[in-house]
Structure 1
Amino acid sequence: MPVTVTRTTITTTSSSSTIVGSPRALTQPLGLLRLLQLVSTCIAFSLVASVGAYTGPMGHWSMFTWCFCFAVTLVILLVELFGLQARFPLSWRNFPITYACYAALFCLTSSIIYPTTYVQFLSHGRSRDHAIAATTFSCVACLAYATEVAWTRARPGEITGYMATVPGLLKVLETFVACIIFVFISNPYLYQHASALECCVAVYAICFILAAVAILLNLGDCTNVLPISFPSFLSGLALLSVVLYAIALVLWPLYQFNEKYHGQPRRSGDPGCATRHTHDVCSWDRRLAVSVLTGINLLAYLADLAYSARLVFVKV
Structure 2
Amino acid sequence: MPVTVTRTTITTTSSSSGLGFPTTVGSARALAQPLGLLRLLQLISTCVAFSLVASVGAWTGAMGNWSMFTWCFCFAVTLIILIVELGGLQARFPLSWRNFPITYACYAALFCLSASIIYPTTYVQFLSHGRSRDHAIAATTFSCIACLAYATEVAWTRARPGEITGYMATVPGLLKVLETFVACVIFAFISNPYLYQHQPALEWCVAVYSICFILAAVAILLNLGDCTNMLPIPFPSFLSGLALLSVLFYATALVIWPLYQFDEKYGGQPRRSKDMSCSNKHPYYVCAWDRRLAVAILTAINLLAYVADLVYSARLVFVRV
Q: Same fold (TM over 0.5)?
A: yes
Give the CA deviation at 1:18. Answer: 2.0
Where does 1:105-144 land on structure 2 (aligned, <5 Å)? 105-144=110-149
Matched, 1:174 2:179: yes
Shift of 1:156: 2.3
| 1:37 partnered with 2:42 | yes
Higher relative contact order (CA 8 A, sep 6+): 1
Matched residue of 2:286: which SS?
A: coil
Match of residue 15 from structure 1: 17
Q: Does residue 1:220 correspond to 2:222, yes or no?
A: no
Does the CA-based 8 Å contact 2:257-2:296 persist in structure 1? yes
Aligned residues: 310
- Structure 1 pair 11–20 and aligned structure 2 pair: CA distance change class (3 A): closer
Query: Could you say what secondary structure the match of 1:18 adopts?
Result: strand
Q: How does 1:74-153 map to 2 (within 5 A)?
A: 74-153=79-158
> How far 1:270 sits from its partner (Å)?
1.0
Structure 2 unmatched ranges of 5 or more: 9-15
**TM-score, structure 2 length as denominator?**
0.94
Check the 8 A contact 1:8/1:312 in 2, yes or no: no
- Secondary structure at the aligned position of 1:21 is classed as coil
Contact 2:280 2:287 in 1 (8 A): no
Partner Cα distance (2:307, 2:161) in 1 = 22
Partner of 1:3: none
Shift, 1:9, TM fit: 5.1
TM-score, normalisation: structure 1: 0.95
Deviation above 6 Å: which 4+ runs of structure 1? none
State the Cα deviation string for residues 258-290 of structure 1 (Å, max 9, x = none). 111111111111111124221121111000000
Cα distance per residue 1:128-168 (max 9 Å; x no partner): 11100000000000000000000000012322110000000
| Paired letter, 1:30 | L
Offset of residue 15 of structure 1: 3.5
CA shift in 2, pair 1:74/1:314, >3 Å:
farther
Q: Find the partner of 1:292 among 276, 294, 297.
A: 297
1:205 counterpart SS class: helix
Pairs within 5 Å for 1:196-207: 196-207=201-212
Q: What are the ranges of 5 or more consecutive residues in structure 1 without an aligned counterpart?
A: 1-5
Within 1, Cα distance between the matches of 2:48 and 2:66? Answer: 16
| 2:158–2:169 Cα contact (<8 Å) kept | yes
Shift of 1:67: 0.1
Instruction: Give 2:271's aligned residue.
Output: 266
Of the three residues 286, 298, 303, the one matched with 2:308 is: 303
Aligned equivalent of 2:13: none
Structure 2 Cα separation of the partners of residues 9 and 285 of structure 1: 43
- After superposition, the CA RMSD in angstroms is 1.5
- Structure 1 position 189, deviation (Å): 0.6
Amino acid at match of 2:78: T
Percent identity between the aligned chains? 84
Q: Is the CA contact (8 Å cut-off) linking 1:10 and 1:155 kept in structure 2?
A: no
Q: Which amino acid is 2:259 matched to? A: L
